[in-house]
Amino acid sequence: MPARPDISPRRTDVHLRVWQAVRKIPRGRVSTYGAIARLAGMPGQARLVGYALHHLPDGAEVPWHRVVNAQGNISLPAAGGRAARQRRLLEAEGVRFAAGKIRLAAHGWPRSAFRS
């Protein structure tokens, strides 16, 4: 039997790379779309990271909530309740919000990408 009989090849490849990288983010820390793109082997493709997470299937064991934008802000639309859930999940892991945003210098991962 073929391993992947009826799966779109390109799409799966891109998504898998992103999900794999996101999985590496330790609990209580956050990364950015751009940083994940680098770790996934596609530097400069931050938008594709967002696209891949947007199409993340329900129940997937991927800590999507640990990915925020380069400004330390949640990039999900406020409407829909997803943004609120992301913030709740992060705070439950000990991530602090100051003035509505996360200080990447303190919580950013990997450290080397956020140390000044």
Partner DNA sequence: CTGGTGACCATTA
Partner DNA sequence: TTAATGGCCACCA
Chain residues that interact with DNA, rule: CB under 7 A? 8, 10-11, 14, 32-34, 44-51, 53-54, 56, 64-65, 67, 69-71, 75-77, 82, 86
CB of 58 to DNA, least distance (A): 10
CB of 3 to DNA, least distance (A): 18
The answer to whether 59 and 73 have CB atoms below 8 angstroms apart is no
Task: Report helix, strand or coil for 67.
Answer: strand
Give φ, ψ of 105 to 5 degrees.
-60, -30
Task: Report helix, strand or coil for 24.
Answer: coil
If the CB atoms of residues 1 and 8 are measured against DNA, the closer one turns out to be 8
